[in-house]
Chain A
């Protein structure tokens, strides 16, 4: 490929990186918010994301015949947010809270619990899907209206194409991020979440019940991950009970990249990671003379991340510098 050709596909690559980045960002928020209030890396969060994707498929399976696809999609978002949020709350209630009650200072115990919960949820979803539908390799339906290129009407500026579903990813993500920003910075619940994150025992002196606020934080992070799961399924179509792992690890990385505990950092980290991975996928083969193809995109993305963290171990934005999205 010539330089001109490579440059000509750059805008499309960046656009696709943005879509992936938004999905990572929405999942990263759950990691970072829970870390913010509890100092816990909730590895089960990737499964909350997967459960959202699977729930979305079930909504399409049962309501997808003949109805208005946009309406069904809206319903899929709502149901996935509710289911993922509820599962996240239950995980906190049944696994993390009892550990917290024991008052152990060992941070490895909740971490290992989180990993255990993660496996449990994967296999639980697998069992449910296998019993229910006799298979657990699931597929999002493909609607023509979601695949329509919205930029073709505008004469495809810069050769860009953007399917309706891509536009949905962008719009829904921005809407959710704006909503979260409002919630965290402008509401009483948001103030309480920040107070608990900064100093849990003093928050108690203000009349805040930390358990309630922690539970709400899991609900918010879980719901965001549920919506992100549907967006992910819509774009990448294939979902299994194990689909949460990779995006989950990347979203966690994005949270660390942005400075764990830092809400705007998680969004920025997600976008950076999405771009890195997509750019790597497109250009790696060319850059290495064909020795390393797009299958190494993730290696490249993580190499760059490790380099960034070597120089800025606190993440791009530092921990907790502010809570603004």
Chain B
């Protein structure tokens, strides 16, 4: 049984149909990447898994149990954390408060403190800025904070939406190293990326999404070798 199973979901924004029957699976311990061009429905897929959007049809199973009717705040309690597109840091909470709010479901203040220190260990830049307001951080620092915040709940499954967006190349490498490190420490990761080259490099498997439908899927290496993928998503050769 896979950790996460998305079965034929259809998700709408009002009249606009964003997903037209998506099915995918994520097994425990994997990095799975979802690639596709702008507006393909990558974010909507993650949003439907984390409960921010409700599918009109289809189901989402986590550890075999349906979760697609649950509100977002209950889904995160099951161990699924979502690092949303655009980071969505709380701009007028401090760095430290942003992390603490990430541990909202935890009642053990000692554990919260421990996790906070762990996040600061992972991202020393955040430690220097712990009393600074989230909204005053640079894009890269906000991305670190968004990841740190999602880890506060110690999730089993991490949904990451374009963590490399808008970052300088050095930072992109750093973020991808963090993703691999988290995976080695046991986190299962579903990664949405525009940077398909890097995503396919670190992922075990991948899915290609095009206007609300899956067009290709398979082991990351095989996907990266396909001419169609190279042409459309890897910028030629």
A72 to B51, CA, bound (A): 50
- A191 and B97 contact, CB distance less than 8 A: yes
Given the complex, which residues of A lie within 8 Å of B121, measured CB to CB?
none
- A206 and B88 contact, CB distance less than 8 A: no
Are A206 and B104 also in contact (CB < 8 A) when A201-B52, A201-B72 are?
yes
- A204 and B71 contact, CB distance less than 8 A: yes
Given the complex, which residues of A lie within 8 Å of B149, measured CB to CB?
206
Shortest CB distance B142–A (Å): 12
A77 to B68, CA, bound (A): 45
Are A205 and B92 also in contact (CB < 8 A) when A191-B97, A192-B101 are?
no
- A195 and B82 contact, CB distance less than 8 A: no
Complex interface bits, B85-104 against A, C-beta within 8 A gives 1, otherwise 0 = 00010111100010011101
Chain A interface main SS type? helix
Given the complex, which residues of A lie within 8 Å of B92, measured CB to CB?
194, 198, 320-323
Shortest CB distance B67–A (Å): 14
Give the size of the chain B interface in residues (CB under 8 angstroms).
24
- B104 and A207 contact, CB distance less than 8 A: yes
Shortest CB distance A4–B (Å): 49
- Does B168 touch A at the CB level, under 8 Å? no
- Does A188 touch B at the CB level, under 8 Å? yes
- Does B77 touch A at the CB level, under 8 Å? yes
Shortest CB distance A85–B (Å): 23
Q: Which of A192, A203, A205, A320 contacts B82 (CB 8 A)?
A: A205
Given the complex, which residues of B lie within 8 Å of A209, measured CB to CB?
71, 73
Shortest CB distance B152–A (Å): 9
- A207 and B84 contact, CB distance less than 8 A: no
Given the complex, which residues of B lie within 8 Å of A195, measured CB to CB?
90, 93, 101
- A205 and B101 contact, CB distance less than 8 A: no
Are A205 and B93 also in contact (CB < 8 A) when A191-B100, A192-B101, A195-B101 are?
no
- B93 and A202 contact, CB distance less than 8 A: no
Interface residue ranges of B99-116 to A (CB < 8 Å): 100-102, 104-105
Q: Which of B76, B90, B91, B93 contacts A207 (CB 8 A)?
A: B76
Complex interface bits, B124-163 against A, C-beta within 8 A gives 1, otherwise 0 = 0000000000000000000000000100010000000000
- Does B50 touch A at the CB level, under 8 Å? yes
A207 to B50, CA, bound (A): 11
A203 to B98, CA, bound (A): 10
Shortest CB distance A68–B (Å): 40
Interface residue ranges of A125-156 to B (CB < 8 Å): none
Q: Which of B71, B88, B100 contacts A202 (CB 8 A)?
A: B88
Q: Taking CB as reference atom, which chain B residue is nearest A320?
A: B92
Q: Taking CB as reference atom, which chain A residue is nearest B81?
A: A205
Name A's B-contacting residues (CB within 8 A): 188, 191-192, 194-195, 198-199, 201-210, 320-323
Q: Considering the complex of A and B, which 9 residue pairs feature the smallest CB-CB distances, nearest first?
A: A204-B72, A207-B105, A202-B88, A207-B104, A207-B76, A209-B73, A198-B90, A206-B104, A204-B73
**Knowing that A202-B88, A202-B90, A205-B73 are A-B contacts, what are 12 other residue pairs whose CB atoms are under 8 Å apart, sorted by A's residue number?**
A192-B101, A195-B90, A198-B91, A199-B88, A201-B52, A201-B72, A204-B52, A205-B76, A205-B84, A206-B153, A207-B73, A209-B73
